[in-house]
A and B are shown apart, each in its own frame.
Chain A
Amino acid sequence: MNAPVDITDAPLGVYAKRKGVYPKAVDGFYRRLKWAAMIVTLTIYYVTPWLRWERGAYAPNQAVLVDMAHRRFFMFAIEIWPQEFYYVAGLLIMAGMGLFLVTSAVGRAWCGYACPQTVWTDLYQHIERFIDGDRNAQVRLARAPWGPAKLARRLFKWTIWLLIAVATGGAWIFYFADAPTLASQFLHGTAPFVAYAAVGILTATTFIFGGFMREQVCIYMCPWPRIQTAMMDEKSLLVTYRDWRGEPRGSVKANGHAEAKFGDCIDCNQCAAVCPTGIDIRNGPDIGCITCGLCIDACDKVMAQIGRPLGLIDYLTLEDADTERAGHPPISALKTLLRPRTFIYLGVWCSVGLAMLFTLESRTRLAIAAGQERNPLYVQLSGGAIRNSFILKLRNMEDRPRVMSVQLSGLNGATMWQRDVPTAAPTAQISVTVPADSVSNLPVFVEAPSGGSAHTPFTFRLTARDNEGGTGQANAIFEKPEPTS
């Protein structure tokens, strides 16, 4: 390993200039894993808004839809109202816990394979290689003076990048409106301004982050690598160079002449050449390492060619490294995975998920709320009775209209009638049809005989008059004049 650089007297700049990274193409197990992860994640991202899900005449038929305008969140069979937003909070907690779990078990696997920054950077780098050629050609082109050929290549590359960026930003907006409708509006220039703004911003961020900033986003902008430092311990997987096996480095030729003098590393620099973040893993653990394993693929290929055992660079825990260095037998991977930390994260993750499933299954899809009109609090009627006024809110969360009835309970001799129906007669029960997926306002007058307590608690009871049934209730207080003694 290199000695730390002495920076005591060196002039310090605030900003470090970016060193160009031109990762070389590589093939191998981890590269194929990355391909698979890229195909899966990009497919999910681009295809999801176009999936349909039959919900009948009263709700949109898009499988996943965040309907801001109507304050509804649809996800396949689940529909969430704004007051149920804790389900989304629960999903975020699960995502966080899942990230903790993955990190404590297999290190920065998220960074290396599934993070959008990694996936889109990877995609952009493939396009770069397709247009500019592999590493050496890219370096040559970068150093070449600007001329028509270079300009043409650059413009071509940036155009393809921009097209991908537009598609990326474009896919995002389809999560928030009916995808086919919005796509047609978007192309005809009649979509809302916010759609164009969102596409514009996401196009810019995709283009800049994926095309130019790349590993700088991971190293300087992303908080996750910092948080991970607290998540990881000596049992977390890291990409590790077996320095005890590789050092001292030397070429095959030199090694052939003096067998014992050199280690397995022939200093071919392939591991550094393929690294998408431009680090040399042989310098030890690095915050720039996103553990994508491409250097493992590159090194294994070389080891196979020169007939030495694979795994000079490998996924190892710090503990594994210490054990191996000391010459002890390796610790089984299971033992590394099954430890309190991973179990606790798994437990929290599962319990949040199960709690959400349970509440989803048992939630009621209708409700009643009663708000009292307080100006005036009560009205003295000529016959002696007292009248109060309430606004009832009947909530129907099903995607079909439902007939519901409201009854008075706990108020002797009381009747009620609908305020906005001129012909309504006093009754003990009101039946109304609540439209699908909405809240109905039901203003009512309640009349009760005078006398007794000035504040009488009572209840509005709600019953759904269909096969599914269901009940709800709202507590209220009937106000009368203070009794004169």
Chain B
Amino acid sequence: MTEGKRLDEPTNTETVGHEWDGIEELNTPLPRWWLYTFYACIVFALGYTVFYPAWPGLHSATPGILHWSSREDLNAEMKAQQVHNAPVLAAIAATPIEALPDHPQLLKAAIEGGRAQFRIHCIQCHGTGAAGIQGLYPNLNDDDWLWGGDLKAIQYTLTNGIRNPDVPTTRTSQMPSFGRDGILKPEQIDDVVSYVRAISGQDAANASSTRGAALFAANCVVCHGPAGKGNWLVGAPNLTDKIWLYGGSREAITNSVTNAHAGVMPAWGKKLDPVTIKMLAAYVHSLGGGEPNPPAVAPTPQ
């Protein structure tokens, strides 16, 4: 096809030799600057493979003479951040948790640290908004606490867990399964449920609830208290408020009395350091339902 080549007069450029219905193509060379840029890119790419990880091997790529890796970069960044955070963490470690509210800056730092840790360790059950799941995990935003809602109580619960068989100091209690174990007859359970519905303001008092009051006094007040207001030392919920972890309907309460519930939580003291737990407690306490520190026991006058 070389015989068709000719010099195009107006442009002073050779044609490629093809011809389609009188249309010819000029053999215009690539612009020099473009070509040199292209060569420079090739040189750069080869150089890059020498300095940076590039050629794949059986187990890993060649490391490159700079030995750079993104994991190293991340480690360095994390280390720098740890160094940066160290003084604040030390200050939090040195402050008893009940004294945190007296140091607003420290409390704020603890809450923010706790917020980050919560997203790693807690959201699997309690959810990203700490709202829990009805019937499974308690909502941490409200003002109802099964095991105490002041800073120290939350810290203790976090450290020791709930009904954790590996930790002797764990928060624990066991409600009897009144129905399943035959402690109460079904009609008696029905009366107890009527009473609980009455003291929580959901139903009016009636004959059944009056019978239930006596059964309640005999079987339930040990943990739930004479007025049904619960006792956080044994994780007994308040039965007179509007918050029902396992449901407040007649069916749900009947199920709870018949079979009993016993929620569990890991003992985070075995996994997390005390500062992290302190920050988590501060965060959970800050969600809106945190209770004030209990009054300090007055020193005995000498």
Contacts and interface: CB of A to CB of B under 8 A. Distances in A.
Interface of A: 9, 11-12, 373, 375-376, 379-384, 387, 389, 419-420, 422-423, 445, 450
A381 B129 CA distance: 16
Given A11-B11, A379-B142, 19 more contacts: A11-B10, A12-B10, A12-B11, A375-B128, A376-B129, A376-B141, A379-B131, A379-B289, A380-B142, A381-B143, A381-B289, A382-B144, A382-B242, A384-B241, A389-B288, A420-B108, A420-B286, A422-B107, A422-B290
Nearest to A389: B288
A419 B10 CA distance: 81
Contact of B243 (A373, A380, A419): A380
B70 interface: no
Contact of A384 (B107, B108, B242): B242
Interface in B137-163: 139, 141-144
B143 A376 contact: no
A387 B10 contact: no
B101 interface: yes
A381 B139 CA distance: 10
Contacts of A379: 131, 139, 141-142, 288-289
Contacts, number: 61
Given A12-B11, A380-B243, A381-B143, A375 B288 contact: no
Contacts of B243: 380-382
A379 B243 CA distance: 10
4 interchain residue pairs of minimum CB distance:
A375-B129, A382-B241, A376-B131, A382-B144
Nearest to B31: A14
Contacts of B131: 375-376, 379
B7 to A, nearest CB: 11
B12 interface: yes
Contacts of B143: 381-383
Contacts of A382: 142-144, 238, 241-243
Interface in B269-295: 286, 288-290
Interface string B152-188: 0000000000000000000000000000000000000
Interface of B: 9-12, 101, 107-108, 111, 127-131, 139, 141-144, 238, 241-243, 286, 288-290
Q: Is the interface of A mostly helix, strand, loop or mixed?
A: loop
B107 A383 contact: no
B241 A383 contact: yes
Contacts of A9: 10
A373 B12 CA distance: 73
A423 B286 CA distance: 11
26 contacts: A9-B10, A11-B10, A11-B11, A375-B128, A375-B129, A376-B129, A376-B141, A379-B289, A380-B139, A380-B142, A380-B242, A381-B142, A381-B243, A382-B238, A382-B242, A382-B243, A383-B143, A383-B242, A384-B242, A419-B286, A419-B288, A420-B111, A420-B286, A422-B101, A445-B288, A450-B242
A382 to B, nearest CB: 4
A379 B286 CA distance: 14
A375 B290 CA distance: 18
Contact of A381 (B10, B242, B290): B242
Interface centre among A9, A373, A381 (most CB of B within 10 A): A381
Contacts of B9: 11
A5 to B, nearest CB: 15
Contacts of B130: 376
Contacts of A376: 129-131, 139, 141
B73 to A, nearest CB: 21
A450 B129 CA distance: 21
Contacts of B12: 11
A445 B290 CA distance: 13
Nearest to B100: A422
Nearest to B108: A420
Contacts of A384: 241-242
A292 B290 CA distance: 78
A383 to B, nearest CB: 7
B107 to A, nearest CB: 7
B134 to A, nearest CB: 10
Contacts of B289: 379, 381
